Amino acid sequence: MATEKKKNLTVITTHINADFDGIASMLAAQKLYPGALVVFPGSYERNLRNFFVDSMAYLFNMADINDIDFSDIRRLVLVDTRKADRIGKLSPLLSLPEIDIHIYDHHPHSPSDIKAHADFYNRTGATTTILTQFIREKQIALTSDEATIMCLGIYEDTGSFTFPSTTEHDLMSAAFLLSSGANLNVIADIISKEINPQQVKVLNDMLLSANRFKINGVDVTVTSISSETYIHDFALIVHKMMKVENLNVLFAIARMSNKIYVVARSRVPEVDAGGIVTSLGGGGHGFAAAATIRDRTLAQVEQQLMEKLYRTIKPSQLAGEIMSSPVITIGPDVSCHDAGTRMTRYNVNALLVTEKQKEKDVLLGFISRQVIEKALFHDLKHVPVKEYMSTELAVVSPEADIHEIQEKIIHNKQRILPVMEQDVIKGVITRTNLLNILVDQAQLNHEKQTNGFQAPVTARTRNVRRLMKERLSKKLMGILKEIGETAAEIGFSAYVVGGFVRDLFLYRKNEDVDIVIEGDGILFAKKYAKISGARVNAYQKFGTAVIIFPDGFKIDVASARTEYYQSPAALPTVEMSSIKMDLFRRDFTINTLAIQLSPSSFGVLIDFFSAQRDIKEKVIRILHNLSFVEDPTRGFRAIRFEQRFGFSIGKLTSSLIKNAVNMDFFKKLSGRRIFMEIRLILEEENPAPAIIRLSDYNLLQFIHSSVTLNKKTIELLHTAHKVITWYDLLFLEESYNKWAIYFLVLIRHCDAKTSLEICRNFELPPRFLKMISMERFEAEKCLYGLERKLPIKNSTIYKRLTVFKTELILYMMVITKQKQVEKAISNYFTKLKHVRIAMKGQDLFSLGIPRGPIFGKILDAVRDQRMNGKAKTKKDELEFAKQYAEILLKTPDSRKSESKKNHQ
């Protein structure tokens, strides 16, 4: 019986240089063919060797190929390959008629394929997926380790479900394996491996030798390198190069010892990587392929590859072929209402705005249905479209290929792309046109539906965990991980968003942490606070909370929400939403970045609105054209961010700020909201440039119509910056409001009545109202007196200045015209303010001086002597006090005062 069983062997194998999908497929096949032997036809990738030696080899019924008698084999099961030259020493079995051949593979068929008795093919992202479907149907039980290996195979071959070859079957199979106990931590540790220093050198050589070709409108990169030894994980290095260089098509050729290896990757339908590499003797599918070539030189393979590329890559569709013509346009003075009517009449979502100049239509911009609808909602139907049209728009020539069209529509967030030749509008391509073409090509299936945000349909993502580790403290990293874990426990998703993420990329310190929860933010905050020993302040109306730690550190928490404005400049009405809609409600693209905190995706950056691009290009851009209508305060913030980061305000954003000023939307803001924005600007490190920009946009009028900027005021603002910087470097540890100094400079020409009007409009607290509308004039009067009585004694300076607040004294230092007065004020802060006399009241009593008001007069006089340098020791003070007391006691007023006190 044993001999008979031995003569009915089933052998399972995969291709030489097996990857995780090949190994996982062999394990899956072993579950479908109980008792079968698993045989490696040759070597496998280094990571696989380490993985199996260290952990999972016990799962396989493995046999050495040299120990098997081929005459005992009756069935050969091939997984992840159908090529005879890729199964090594087992290939002679293919010619034996008694061998029953079964193939499980996701690679497309070709004429050179092995002929099988049973061929199980499906165009999935991984072969493991096909076998998993059979296991699921047969209800075969899996252990946790088996499920982990099989899931690992799917993750690797689909690029963690990011490769275009990924299908819904891959996701469903992975879900089944996860439910069977697959360990994602093990998978993540293996999949996310970093390349070693030797591989970094190989990657650098590949980058240096890369050549870029444009073949029939398609960008193709080809790189060639040589190595005397085998390069482990060459496919991984190729994948890294694709990501680093953001390539669509890459063919990597490497001579390793006496063999040539080719690895191909393609993200575009025009380039069939599998078909091209098959002609070289390899195989694969349209998006990924590989070949091992013998008996040819590197130059021969390069030449053969280039010939094949030029023969097989078909020209992509050109703009002139797919554009719509004639073009429907409107003039710049057409009202928003009439523009909306025209869009409805022609069933279009965007219109070009043109103007007749010298018998020629000149392109000015475009207007979208979303902008028109918002304008009508805000009762702006009579406003001309030129006020809200997008003026920053890309155009293409009729010869532009589909990739250029796609890049410009998506990168620039344009609903309509003009096709122009010699400044003449030939036609337009809409986003719908583009999507239809992409769908027809089975490309970018996730973009089949447009969204209403004028933004890329899917988010750009990348893992920034390493950047977070470099930039953030261990304590903060720990808090963020705990937040993600706590949210996941109650079924929510957590994100850190906004300025915190923006400043991470700008390398600016920012520990103002804003957390957005997809779910109930207040419920999350209470649960996390309980776990971390913090307390919570919740605001039910807005779905927000503040978590306050015992050491005073605070974290703001909000439920993901969207906002709509019932009228221009009104406060927003808040509704629950998703993270994408929450980010869309924000002011500028640079503030729309979010980082996932959930344990399974911790550190993954989400960029829906091209924020990374705008940060790189240093541009401030709004998210939609009615942004300043809904919230005019964004105009102030645009200027503040522009100056803080050294950015520039985008052309369209700039014109929309001016529009909001001209349409008087800022006048609908409360004085308190305007003051809050002005104060934030004045609290910047150097607000002078921002104040100049406020003047450029005519925004200073919203402080008061009389507030303007001239050359002298600009000089004083710069002087104020120098004075404040000087004062801060004294490290006196006395709190003061530096914004008030700049504000006093701005309104220094306003009289008391106007100043009071400004303070009341801004709803300033009483202490600031008093400082700005009353005490300021006393300070200016004092300064005038000091400037007329030069030189000034130290004691005089002290007496005059000590009655004023720090802000007013620094203001005096800014506006004085006399260097001597500036030095005197400086001396007050550095020396006089801190002068203390050595003697006390008891010393006067010891001198025989009677107690009473005379004590105060004498001590004041002694302090004056000390300040003026006439009393340097306590002995000097006592001698002066005795003499001064005698003088005071001789005066009639002093005697009367003392007599009256003694009588009482």
3-state secondary structure 716-743: HHHHHHHHHHHHHCCCCCCCCCHHHHHH
Residue 382, exposed/middle/buried by CB under 10 A (0-12, 13-18, 19+)?
Answer: exposed
Identity of the residue numbered 466? R
pLDDT in tens, 430-476: 887 777 676 655 433 333 222 333 333 345 778 899 999 999 999 99
Residue 824 has pLDDT above 80, yes or no: yes
What does pTM read for this prediction? Answer: 0.56
543: phi > 0 → left, psi -120 to 50 → alpha, else beta; which? Answer: left
Least confident of 31-35, 539-543, 707-711, 777-781: 539-543
- In this prediction, residue 55 carries a pLDDT of 63
pLDDT in tens, 614-635: 898 899 998 887 888 889 999 9
Average pLDDT over residues 20-25: 90
Least confident of 307-311, 741-745, 822-826: 307-311
Residue 691 has pLDDT above 80, yes or no: yes
Residue 52 has pLDDT above 80, yes or no: no
Residue 88, exposed/middle/buried by CB under 10 A (0-12, 13-18, 19+)?
Answer: middle
Q: Name the percent of the chain lying above pLDDT 70.
A: 91
Residue 290, exposed/middle/buried by CB under 10 A (0-12, 13-18, 19+)?
Answer: buried
- In this prediction, residue 895 carries a pLDDT of 46
- In this prediction, residue 459 carries a pLDDT of 58
- In this prediction, residue 45 carries a pLDDT of 47
Least confident of 80-94, 416-430, 604-618, 886-900: 886-900
- In this prediction, residue 893 carries a pLDDT of 54
- Per-residue pLDDT band at 410 (split at 50, 70, 90): confident
DSSP H or E segment with residue 752: helix 752-761
* Residue closest to 118 by CA, chosen among 104, 132, 102: 102
Residue 858 has pLDDT above 70, yes or no: yes
* Residue closest to 191 by CA, chosen among 126, 104, 281: 126
- Per-residue pLDDT band at 53 (split at 50, 70, 90): very low
Residue 705 has pLDDT above 60, yes or no: yes
User: Higher-confidence residue: 51 or 788?
Assistant: 788
User: Higher-confidence residue: 282 or 76?
Assistant: 76
Average pLDDT over residues 867-877: 89
Across 211-359, the runs of DSSP E, i.e. the strands, are 211-215, 218-227, 249-256, 259-266, 283-284, 288-293, 329-330, 350-357
Cα–Cα dist 768/766, whole Å? 6
- In this prediction, residue 439 carries a pLDDT of 60
Average pLDDT over residues 231-238: 86
- In this prediction, residue 451 carries a pLDDT of 32
- Per-residue pLDDT band at 574 (split at 50, 70, 90): very low
Cα–Cα dist 99/438, whole Å? 45
> Alpha-carbon dihedral of residues 432, 437, 441, 445, nearest 10 degrees?
-10
Average pLDDT over residues 503-517: 91
- Per-residue pLDDT band at 900 (split at 50, 70, 90): very low
- In this prediction, residue 455 carries a pLDDT of 34
- In this prediction, residue 896 carries a pLDDT of 47
User: Higher-confidence residue: 35 or 584?
Assistant: 35
- In this prediction, residue 222 carries a pLDDT of 93
Average pLDDT over residues 94-111: 88
pLDDT in tens, 182-217: 999 888 877 766 677 888 889 988 988 888 888 877
> Which of 4-13, 193-202, 604-613, 669-678 holds the top average pLDDT?
669-678
Cα–Cα dist 160/345, whole Å? 46
Cα–Cα dist 772/766, whole Å? 10
Query: What does residue 803 show for φ and ψ, rounded to 5 degrees?
Result: -85, -10
- In this prediction, residue 143 carries a pLDDT of 92
Average pLDDT over residues 290-306: 83
- In this prediction, residue 287 carries a pLDDT of 84
Cα–Cα dist 836/844, whole Å? 16
Helix, strand and coil percent figures for the chain, each rounded to 5: 50, 15, 35
